[in-house]
């Protein structure tokens, strides 16, 4: 799938949900669709200077609410985003370089079910980020010794 098709696909899905896709909003969608790495709202706003900051932030929220991108909290507490495959997943985050990886943890659902039963809460969602040092950073540390 090409980047253009991906951006068109995102725009089409948002249109199907009743959202208007203006030219500035499409520019944000197109820019997000080209990203293969994590990005912040600030980075997008700086890279898309002709597009208003409010449009960048609102479009990120639309993409996030629609499950097209996911929010990741890095080890230092800062927030970034990345494209998502819409399936429920969690994140493995490198505390050294900030790279992230999607992970699926089947046992988590059993834990969530146990929490619901033990507390009588109606669970509406959860997020798990696992922090560590990625293999590349671990090799760099080992080779610098």
Asked whether residue 59 falls in the same domain as residue 24, the answer is yes
Domain end (from 86, 107, 137): 86
How far does Cα 13 stand from its chain's mean position?
A: 17
- For residue range 63-117, what is the model confidence (pLDDT) as tens digits? 999 889 999 998 888 999 999 877 778 899 999 998 888 888 778 888 889 999 9
Spatial separation of the C-alpha atoms in residues 34 and 26, rounded to whole Å:
12
CATH of the domain at 5: 1.10.10.10
Asked whether residue 135 falls in the same domain as residue 145, the answer is yes
Domain total in the chain? 2
* Sign of torsion over alpha carbons 56, 22, 9, 105: positive
- For residue range 3-34, what is the model confidence (pLDDT) as tens digits? 444 899 999 999 999 999 999 999 999 999 99
Instruction: Give the structural domain span for 118.
Output: 87-145
Q: Could you tell me the pTM of the whole model?
A: 0.76
Q: Give yes or no for residue 46 having a pLDDT over 50.
A: yes
CA angle 124, 55, 79 (to 5 degrees): 50
Q: Is 104 helix (H, G, I), strand (E, B) or coil?
A: coil
């Amino acid at each position: 799938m090409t980047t253009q098709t991906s951006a068109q696909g995102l725009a089409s899905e948002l249109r199907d949900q009743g959202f208007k896709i203006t030219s500035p909003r499409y520019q944000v969608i197109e820019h997000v669709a080209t990203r293969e790495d994590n990005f912040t709202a600030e980075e997008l706003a700086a890279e898309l200077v002709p597009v208003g900051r409010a449009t960048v932030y609102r479009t990120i929220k639309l993409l996030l609410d629609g499950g097209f991108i996911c929010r990741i909290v890095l080890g230092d507490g800062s927030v970034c985003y990345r494209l998502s495959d819409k399936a429920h997943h969690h994140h493995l985050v490198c505390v050294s370089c900030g790279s992230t990886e999607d992970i699926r943890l089947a046992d988590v659902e059993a834990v969530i079910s146990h929490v619901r039963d033990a507390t009588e809460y109606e669970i509406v969602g959860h997020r798990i980020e696992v922090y560590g040092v990625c293999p590349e950073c671990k090799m760099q540390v080992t080779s610098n010794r």
